[in-house]
Structure formats: structure tokens, C-alpha cells
Amino acid sequence: MKKIMAADRMKNITYAIRDIAVMAKEVGKTKKIIALNVGDPNKFDFDTPYELKEAVNRAMLDGHNYYSDSAGVDEAREAIAKHNKKMGIDCTENDVLMTTGVSEGISMCIAALANKGENFLGPKPTYPVYTAYSNLFEVENRLYPLDEEDEWELKPEEIEKQITDKTKGIVLINPNNPTGGVYEKNVLKEVVEIAGQHNLIIFADEIYDMLVLDGEMHHIAEFSKDVPVVTFNGLAKNFLAPGWRCGWMTFTDRAETMQHYKDAVFQLGRARLCTITPQQFAVKPALEGGQPHLKETIEKLRRRRDIVYKRINEIDGLSMAKPKAAFYSFPKIEFSMDDKEFCINLLKEEGVTTVYGSGFNMPEHFRLVFLADEESLNEALDKIEAFVKRNKK
Ligand code: PLP
């Protein structure tokens, strides 16, 4: 029998974050590994709130193990609509679609958005799921650069430069992965203006909206007026439950311009039956329970962020802007070493895993996740310092 070959379109489906993890597993057979590559809080000293585990457990024991409605469990959708409204994200429960993590929501939204030859805009550095699905669905993902010199702020004029007559939408990741940046209110308002002028839909990936370390975070749907906005969120990060794969998206459509598009996305939801049922029973207690876990989570993250920010900037050859949210930093390699070589050699020589910037479409950088405890972070930073000293010419 002949070999079974994958379709050509699979050539461009890459995901550096997981690729480096495969390499780390190999190196880990002979070397101690300090993992600063994965954005999974549950691999470190963070755990899902007990009440949420209880809610899922109870849901299973009470028999909620059926295929749920394709759009999701009513109780969860109602709680999301109520929570969103409090934040100015205009919607009803009928505008909420539950998904298998935000990742599934992203894939559905891109699949339904554009034809071959059309495009949508996304940030650079990007979060690689957007580029992976744009390649899969043969839709161009045009990138607008974020401003590293201004704490990775979004510059609306850079968005405008990337718009063509084939552009269908704009993705905003706020708070941002991999930069940890949070966008200013006025900037969000300007993006709304631009989207309105060019008839574009806005996709607001706000999965880190409760993990703000400094300042304030604003939801763009609050300012969107008649511009249609799809807002992504979920339990993965804010509620420390990434493995539950419980995400959702909300359609805010004050001028009713995206009904056709919304129907298509809900149709895709029906084609895959439903998302995981028992986990959806944790959504209401999560959103209505006051989120007592956040205080300690944010305090720990702030301390860890401060260590990384200070120590990276003390290393001759590296620099970084201060992350304001989430658990990501995106330092710059300021000497002549390719970012892939930097991350792979740092892993092989020192046992520290990070992700190369080119995995986020931005070479000369690497992503360093600051979820590890302070002692491990300091140990990893000692190793990074020694590595840079050895390699900087
Ligand atoms: N969007 C962003 C910006 C992310 O950082 C991640 C995960 O790291 C996701 C989406 C995926 O979220 P989920 O685990 O809900 O699929």
C-alpha cells in the first residue's frame, strides 16, 4: 500500500509553543528542566477554585452528561450575558455561544468569516492559533505591529495601514499574549472608528481580562456603538481551568449588521453537536461567586513579573517592556543570535524552556512565562544570565 500523505495545507500549521515542549521532553531525560514556556497556570502552584470543581463534579453526578444544546447550557449562557452586561458588553443569552475553549471559537469565527483571497488583521507579535487557522482556511492574516517602545501599545494607524478592500475583520488581543500589554481606552475607541469606516467586524480576545496587574483594562465592546464585536472569553485563564476546555464567545451587534455571519457561526456550532456539558455548570458559580481566588493569583503574578522585569533588564544583551497583565513577557535579544538558536541552545545547555519569537511572527524576541515560583524563576534567570554572557560577542 502507498504511504498516506497529509494534505498540502497542513504544511503551514505550526505551533511553536507545543513544538518546544516536545524538545524539552527529550532534553528532560538527562537534565533538570525549568519550564518558562507554557501558559498553563495549573502546571505551577495555581489550582482551579474548589467551588468550581465541586460544581462540575455535582453536574456529572446529577446526570448532566448528555449532549447539551449546541449553543450551550442555558444556565451558563444566561450567567455570561448578565456578567457581560455589567462590563458594558451589550448582549442577551441568545448572543452567547459556548465553545471548546476559546481556540475552538477562533477557528469557527475564521472559518465563517472570509473566502480565499480575503483577509483579517491581527497583532504582531501574534498568538499563533490565529495564524494556524488562517492558513488552514486559506485566509490571509495581515499583521499590524504593536509598539514595543510604548509597552506594546496598539497604534491605530498601523491597523489602518494594513486594511485592503479584501479585509473582513480586526483581531485585538487585550490583555495580550505574548506581550502582557493592555490597551488604552482612547486607543480602543479609535479602533472602533476605523472598523466603522471600513465595515469591519472586531474580534476581541479578552481571555485574560481578570488578570490585570497594573492599571485598568477596558472591553472594546463597551465603546463599539454600531460596530459588530465578537468577544472571546473562558474559564481557562481567569479561573485557572485550562484543561476543562470551557470557552465562549459573545456577539454584540447593536446595529444588527452581523446576523448572517452570526447564524453561520452558530450553524458551525450545530455541526459539531456541542461542547463539553458538565464543565459549563461551573460558569455561573465562577462569574457570580465574587472570584475570591483572584487576589492571591494577582499578587503572586505581580511579584513574579517584577522579578523578571528587573532581572531581564539587568542582563547586558536583553531588554523588555513591563507586562501589565496576564503572565507573559516578551524580551528582546539585543545581540546577534537568532531567536530559535537562542531558545534551543538555552534549553539544551541550561535546561530552561522559553519560546522563540518567530513562533509569534516576531523574531529577535522570546516569550518567557512567569508562572513559576520565585525560587525557580530566580534560578532560571541565573541560567539565562550565564547563557547570555557566554554567547554575547
Ligand atoms: N487566546 C489567547 C490570547 C490565548 O493566550 C489562549 C491560550 O493561551 C487562547 C486564546 C486559547 O484559550 P483556550 O484554552 O480557552 O482555548
Give the start-to-end residue ranges of the domains of the chain: 11-47+292-391, 64-288
Q: How far is the CA of 159 from the centre of ligand 1 (A)?
A: 22
- 177 C-beta closer than 6 A to ligand 1: yes
Q: Are 231 and 258 in contact (CB under 8 A)?
A: no
How far apart (Å, rounded) are the C-alpha atoms in residues 170 and 357? 22
How far apart (Å, rounded) are the C-alpha atoms in residues 307 and 248? 33
pLDDT per residue as tens digits for the range 252-281: 999 999 999 999 999 999 999 999 999 999
Which is the closest atom of ligand 1 to the Cα of 234? Answer: 15
How far apart (Å, rounded) are the C-alpha atoms in residues 152 and 124? 10
- The grid coordinates of residue 356 equal 522563540
Residue with cell 494577582: 298
- 175 C-beta closer than 6 A to ligand 1: no
Q: How confident is the prediction along the chain (393 residues), in pLDDT tens digits per residue? A: 999 999 888 877 777 777 788 889 999 999 999 999 999 999 999 999 999 999 999 999 999 999 999 999 999 999 999 999 999 999 999 999 999 999 999 999 999 999 999 999 999 999 999 999 999 999 999 999 999 999 999 999 999 999 999 999 999 999 999 999 999 999 999 999 999 999 999 999 999 999 999 999 999 999 998 999 999 999 999 999 999 999 999 999 999 999 999 999 999 999 999 999 999 999 999 999 999 999 999 999 999 999 999 999 999 999 999 999 999 999 999 999 999 999 999 999 999 999 999 999 999 999 999 999 999 999 999 999 999 999 987
Which is the closest atom of ligand 1 to the Cα of 173? Answer: 3
Q: Same topology for domains 11-47+292-391 and 64-288, yes or no?
A: no
Residues of 157-170 as b/e, b for ≥16 C-beta within 10 angstroms? ebbbebbeeebbbb
192-193-198-199 Cα dihedral, nearest 10 degrees: 50
How far apart (Å, rounded) are the C-alpha atoms in residues 14 and 131? 9
Give the three-state DSSP class for 136: helix
Q: Nearest C-alpha to atom 3 of ligand 1 is from which residue?
A: 177
- 205 C-beta closer than 6 A to ligand 1: yes
- 133 C-beta closer than 6 A to ligand 1: no
Q: How far is the CA of 328 from the centre of ligand 1 (A)?
A: 13
How far apart (Å, rounded) are the C-alpha atoms in residues 51 and 376? 29
Q: What is the pTM of this model?
A: 0.96
- 173 C-beta closer than 6 A to ligand 1: yes
Q: Nearest C-alpha to atom 4 of ligand 1 is from which residue?
A: 177
Please check whether the domain covering 64-288 is classified as CATH 3.40.640.10: yes
Q: Nearest C-alpha to atom 7 of ligand 1 is from which residue?
A: 39
Q: Are 91 and 252 in contact (CB under 8 A)?
A: yes
How far apart (Å, rounded) are the C-alpha atoms in residues 86 and 208? 17
Which is the closest atom of ligand 1 to the Cα of 328? Answer: 5
How far apart (Å, rounded) are the C-alpha atoms in residues 77 and 63? 19
- 178 C-beta closer than 6 A to ligand 1: no
How far apart (Å, rounded) are the C-alpha atoms in residues 315 and 171? 34
- Strands 201-205, 167-173: pairing kind: parallel
How far apart (Å, rounded) are the C-alpha atoms in residues 58 and 361? 43
Q: Nearest 5 degrees, angle CA 304-CA 329-CA 163?
A: 150
Is the CA virtual torsion 36, 37, 39, 41 positive or negative? Answer: negative
| Terminal Cα-to-Cα distance of the chain (whole angstroms) | 53
- 113 C-beta closer than 6 A to ligand 1: no
Reported as type and span, the H/E element at residue 368 is strand 366-369
Q: How far is the CA of 3 from the centre of ligand 1 (A)?
A: 35
pLDDT per residue as tens digits for the range 305-343: 999 999 999 999 999 999 999 999 999 999 999 999 999
Distance (Å) of CA 261 to CA 127, 254, 281: 23, 14, 28
Which is the closest atom of ligand 1 to the Cα of 176? Answer: 3
Residue with cell 452570526: 262
Residue with cell 499590524: 144
Q: How far is the CA of 103 from the centre of ligand 1 (A)?
A: 6
Q: How far is the CA of 102 from the centre of ligand 1 (A)?
A: 6
What is the CATH number assigned to the segment(s) 11-47+292-391?
3.90.1150.10
